[in-house]
Amino acid sequence: DVKVTQSSRYLVKRTGEKVFLECVQDMDHENMFWYRQDPGLGLRLIYFSYDVKMKEKGDIPEGYSVSREKKERFSLILESASTNQTSMYLCASSLLPQGHYEQYFGPGTRLTVT
């Protein structure tokens, strides 16, 4: 079975802290994504990666960076957390960047920045 795991289900951080959200997939997928989900706004794409060390900005990359050193792992970094980054963060992967493929999601990390 396809599996995407995220390092934490719940996380509480203080304003200004550096925050790392980790995502691991065990399906040898090329493509990985980070979304944030907010009430009334749906899912919005922050960054995606189509290969190791490759990344592309999504719709809302400001305040975030990413790292993909290994194919199975995609990290989202909040360099200096702010209260407006309080949200649910969802990681996903798909088999290839091109073509008609579904995405497989992790369980999500609910981040609160105080």
Partner 1 sequence: SQQGEEDPQALSIQEGENATMNCSYKTSINNLQWYRQNSGRGLVHLILIRSNEREKHSGRLRVTLDTSKKSSSLLITASRAADTASYFCATASFGNTGFQKLVFGTGTRLLVSP
The binding site for partner 1 (CB under 8 A) comprises 4, 31, 35, 40-45, 48, 50, 56, 58-59, 88, 90, 92, 94, 97-108, 110
Cα separation, 6 vs 11, in Å, equals 12
Residue number with CB closer to partner 1 (58 or 63): 58
Number of other residues whose CB lies within 10 A of the CB of residue 68 = 20
Cα separation, 7 vs 77, in Å, equals 13
Residue number with CB closer to partner 1 (3 or 14): 3
User: Residue 50 Cβ, how far from partner 1 at the closest point, in Å?
Assistant: 6
Residue number with CB closer to partner 1 (35 or 74): 35
User: Residue 29 Cβ, how far from partner 1 at the closest point, in Å?
Assistant: 13
Cα separation, 75 vs 56, in Å, equals 13
Q: How far apart are the first and last CA of the chain?
A: 37
User: Residue 3 Cβ, how far from partner 1 at the closest point, in Å?
Assistant: 11
Cα separation, 35 vs 45, in Å, equals 4
User: Residue 43 Cβ, how far from partner 1 at the closest point, in Å?
Assistant: 4
